[in-house]
Chain A
């Protein structure tokens, strides 16, 4: 299944890690995958954007209105990155307040787990529960285990599960 995904947030929120988890799930399934990331100056607390393109693509970038799915870790980025998402595309946000898209206060849940950065995996859990992604629970767990430093693996999986089971 061809899928174009954006992950949006600010530097330090773990946008890159979330991107890698999703891309690794594609690799594990044997699908071609391309991602792009923001590095350098913008990473210092500024708005960052990753794109993920699963299946046969040549370019890592996504044109306006072509993304099937948006995962937003920073609500204020909605006005910046929404134009990339198809009108009927899925939209998942880490937000404490009401508004467009499926929302979850992932930061609060992550804080409860002892580390605000885990909001990224909480949000992933929500998106997977809603079957918005090409990959399933097991595939995400495997990818998280592969990529998380060993001593944080359990905490990371816990964050993913909290998102998965949240109503």
Chain B
């Protein structure tokens, strides 16, 4: 039979690889660049040979713990997240290194060098070094897929959780990839009780730690995971290139373009931690100068401890940002004494991202800003971070931090007497992820803040994964919906209102009421749920009226609709000094109409 070749995104290739490897429990929290991995598992679930549980967990820690317990029963499982998600899962992740697993368990953590859509560039490989967890660093979508079954086998052989760490350029690349037949493992769940291990108290931990260390020494020598050498022709003796991940792929193409393929010894490191000590020894013996190319931190470099290393530590390789091909070109030219490439022209920024035309968040942010021009606005991670453009987002830290930061701002001001109005904005998915404990804390600490839950009934930023109040599981099955309102009430909030932000007068009236409430005698946390479905959902678009909206001649060119409201469908015609609406982008929501001070934005009804 002819092998089936498919064009797959790296994340799809990994998702497909999980099914082919007989993974039966897959749990994730969405986050760019990791999101499509679980989506691919969902899309390919019909091809699985065994029962398959898939879930969008409420956060990464929970995803990890679900997968972990499934592994205790002997089944293969996976937890999927992005690099900063591993911080959330850090607690169980660290302990699992000691206790180990039973059925193969992988943690797939997608890193984001650059960073393209993250609050930092942290390197999961370094996290693994600290946690003592083996980590694999694929160089292409096809290789990422190939490593999945191997990683499951080794996870079972050493009873270790293994990490697969693709980076953005692997996750979001597409490549022709071969399809394999999914494995049929025929495993029934069988949890063997062993409290000395699965409930290990401190007394049992030293032997488990010894066992971990012994396992790491062995796995470092696994033949399938050793650095792969492409030998040079000896024209450049005692010089080696060491690269891992996508940096290795960039290097391969670059050497080809420069006519240097097969001229210098090149090692691709598949498993950056634990690095085989014999490999390090061999490098020290056979080479005087070694260039190490890896994203993001010097993980291989630190373990190599080669005196002739050129890399991040001596500053020859940039210590931050993506190792894009142009950067590698520069580094390689310096290392091999090649002519330096020409300076790159300064990269222009291009169009900045903004909330979609008609986005309900824009209407909510605009009202918040209007009502409280002197307010402080802590916000969070999601589409609504783009409230930055509207001046309605002052802080963005990490998932769920906004409510606690709101409390911190309040306490700092209140102890001096007067306090400004603090309006926290948090999305619905983020609220479930880490907002609830923070809300409870805000209530018991008697913070006087307004929390606006921007509820668009989806995880919009990552492409619309279901949220708990939707009543839908990852694979589309109906499930119990968990509403936001009773959770807010049970957290001890007395002021709770719900409003569609498209209804500007009512929304602003409620914001003012909330402000009165927090400043009243019995004041505390006020919660306003801003509820309107995400405009990316075609059903939402269909259900709401749409008008032909245009700007008439009375426009005085004040720019308020363009600057302060910044709907991407609106722009200034600088010659005529009049605002214009781009018909390709306008969805006719009409939320810009009340923004114009001279009523120059008008609508006509259409079907």
**Chain A residues within 8 Å of B585, by CB:** 12, 116
User: In whole angstroms, what is the CA distance A12 to B248 when docked?
Assistant: 32
In contact, B175 and A34 (Cβ under 8 angstroms): yes
Query: Which of B20-28, B348-356, B523-531, B596-604 lines the interface with chain A?
Result: B348-356
Min distance, Cβ A8 to any Cβ of chain B, angstroms:
9
User: In whole angstroms, what is the CA distance A110 to B84 when docked?
Assistant: 41
Cβ of A64 within 8 Å of any chain B Cβ, yes or no, is: yes
Given contacts A66-B257, A76-B351, contact A37 B172 (CB under 8 A): yes
User: In whole angstroms, what is the CA distance A35 to B584 when docked?
Assistant: 28
In contact, A57 and B253 (Cβ under 8 angstroms): yes
**Chain B residues within 8 Å of A136, by CB:** none
Q: Mark B321-349, 1 if CB is under 8 A from A, else 0.
A: 00011100100000000000000110111
> How many chain-B residues does the 8 Å CB contact rule pick out?
51
**Chain A residues within 8 Å of B249, by CB:** 58-60
Q: Which of A4-44 contact B (CB under 8 A)?
A: 10-12, 19-20, 23-24, 26-27, 30-44
Cβ of B318 within 8 Å of any chain A Cβ, yes or no, is: no
In contact, A45 and B117 (Cβ under 8 angstroms): no
User: Inter-chain contact count A-B, CB under 8 Å?
Assistant: 134
Q: Which of A39-87 contact B (CB under 8 A)?
A: 39-47, 57-64, 66, 74, 76-77, 79-80, 83
Cβ of A111 within 8 Å of any chain B Cβ, yes or no, is: yes
Cβ of A107 within 8 Å of any chain B Cβ, yes or no, is: yes
Instruction: Return the chain B residue nearest A37 by Cβ.
Output: B172
User: In whole angstroms, what is the CA distance A59 to B243 when docked?
Assistant: 13
In contact, A40 and B117 (Cβ under 8 angstroms): yes
**Chain A residues within 8 Å of B584, by CB:** 107, 111, 116
Given contacts A11-B353, A27-B7, A39-B117, contact A59 B246 (CB under 8 A): yes
In contact, B7 and A61 (Cβ under 8 angstroms): no
Q: Which of B456-473 contact A (CB under 8 A)?
A: 461-462
User: In whole angstroms, what is the CA distance A25 to B85 when docked?
Assistant: 36
**Chain B residues within 8 Å of A59, by CB:** 169, 246, 249-250, 252-253, 325
**Chain A residues within 8 Å of B175, by CB:** 32-35, 60
Cβ of B594 within 8 Å of any chain A Cβ, yes or no, is: no
Cβ of B583 within 8 Å of any chain A Cβ, yes or no, is: yes
In contact, A58 and B351 (Cβ under 8 angstroms): no
Min distance, Cβ B247 to any Cβ of chain A, angstroms:
9
In contact, B33 and A63 (Cβ under 8 angstroms): no
**Chain B residues within 8 Å of A63, by CB:** 254, 257, 325-326, 329
Partner of A33, one of B7, B252, B462: B7
In contact, A41 and B5 (Cβ under 8 angstroms): no
Q: Mark B112-147, 1 if CB is under 8 A from A, else 0.
A: 000011000000000000000000000110000000
Instruction: Return the chain B residue nearest A107 by Cβ.
Output: B584
Cβ of B383 within 8 Å of any chain A Cβ, yes or no, is: yes
User: In whole angstroms, what is the CA distance A142 to B246 when docked?
Assistant: 31
In contact, A36 and B348 (Cβ under 8 angstroms): no
**Chain A residues within 8 Å of B326, by CB:** 63-64
In contact, A37 and B583 (Cβ under 8 angstroms): no
**Chain A residues within 8 Å of B172, by CB:** 36-39
**Chain B residues within 8 Å of A66, by CB:** 257
In contact, B250 and A38 (Cβ under 8 angstroms): no
In contact, A35 and B250 (Cβ under 8 angstroms): no
In contact, A83 and B173 (Cβ under 8 angstroms): no
**Chain B residues within 8 Å of A64, by CB:** 326, 344
Instruction: Return the chain A residue nearest B36 by Cβ.
Output: A39
**Chain A residues within 8 Å of B35, by CB:** 39
User: In whole angstroms, what is the CA distance A83 to B343 when docked?
Assistant: 12
User: In whole angstroms, what is the CA distance A77 to B172 when docked?
Assistant: 21
**Chain B residues within 8 Å of A33, by CB:** 7, 174-176
Min distance, Cβ B139 to any Cβ of chain A, angstroms:
7
Cβ of B386 within 8 Å of any chain A Cβ, yes or no, is: yes
Given contacts A20-B174, A40-B32, A41-B32, contact A77 B350 (CB under 8 A): yes
User: In whole angstroms, what is the CA distance A20 to B172 when docked?
Assistant: 12
Partner of B174, one of A11, A37, A58: A37
In contact, A39 and B250 (Cβ under 8 angstroms): no
Min distance, Cβ A135 to any Cβ of chain B, angstroms:
13
Q: Mark B291-330, 1 if CB is under 8 A from A, else 0.
A: 0000000000000000000000000000000001110010
Q: Which of B28-71 contact A (CB under 8 A)?
A: 32-33, 35
Instruction: Return the chain B residue nearest A83 by Cβ.
Output: B345
In contact, B353 and A42 (Cβ under 8 angstroms): yes
Instruction: Return the chain B residue nearest A47 by Cβ.
Output: B350
Q: Mark B1-31, 1 if CB is under 8 A from A, else 0.
A: 0000111010000000000000000000000
Min distance, Cβ A105 to any Cβ of chain B, angstroms:
12
User: In whole angstroms, what is the CA distance A74 to B350 when docked?
Assistant: 10
In contact, B174 and A23 (Cβ under 8 angstroms): yes
In contact, B139 and A36 (Cβ under 8 angstroms): no
User: In whole angstroms, what is the CA distance A47 to B172 when docked?
Assistant: 16
In contact, A46 and B352 (Cβ under 8 angstroms): yes
In contact, A27 and B461 (Cβ under 8 angstroms): no
User: In whole angstroms, what is the CA distance A63 to B351 when docked?
Assistant: 21
User: In whole angstroms, what is the CA distance A76 to B351 when docked?
Assistant: 8
**Chain B residues within 8 Å of A42, by CB:** 116-117, 353
Partner of A38, one of B116, B344, B383: B116
**Chain A residues within 8 Å of B352, by CB:** 46
Min distance, Cβ A1 to any Cβ of chain B, angstroms:
16
User: In whole angstroms, what is the CA distance A40 to B595 when docked?
Assistant: 29
What 10 A-B pairs have minimum CB-CB distances, sorted nearest first?
A: A47-B350, A40-B117, A46-B353, A40-B32, A116-B584, A58-B252, A59-B249, A60-B173, A44-B353, A58-B249
A-B contact pairs, 30 of them (CB 8 A): A19-B174, A20-B7, A20-B174, A24-B7, A27-B5, A27-B7, A37-B174, A38-B172, A39-B33, A39-B172, A41-B32, A41-B117, A41-B353, A41-B461, A42-B353, A44-B354, A44-B356, A45-B353, A45-B355, A46-B351, A47-B351, A58-B248, A58-B249, A59-B169, A59-B250, A63-B326, A64-B326, A74-B351, A79-B348, A83-B347
Residues of B within 8 A of A (CB): 5-7, 9, 32-33, 35, 116-117, 139-140, 169, 171-176, 246, 248-250, 252-254, 257, 324-326, 329, 344-345, 347-356, 383, 385-386, 461-462, 568, 583-585
Not counting A34-B175, A116-B585, a sample of 15 additional A-B residue pairs whose C-beta atoms are within 8 angstroms of each other reads: A19-B174, A20-B7, A24-B7, A27-B7, A37-B9, A39-B35, A41-B386, A42-B353, A44-B353, A44-B383, A59-B169, A60-B169, A61-B324, A62-B325, A111-B584
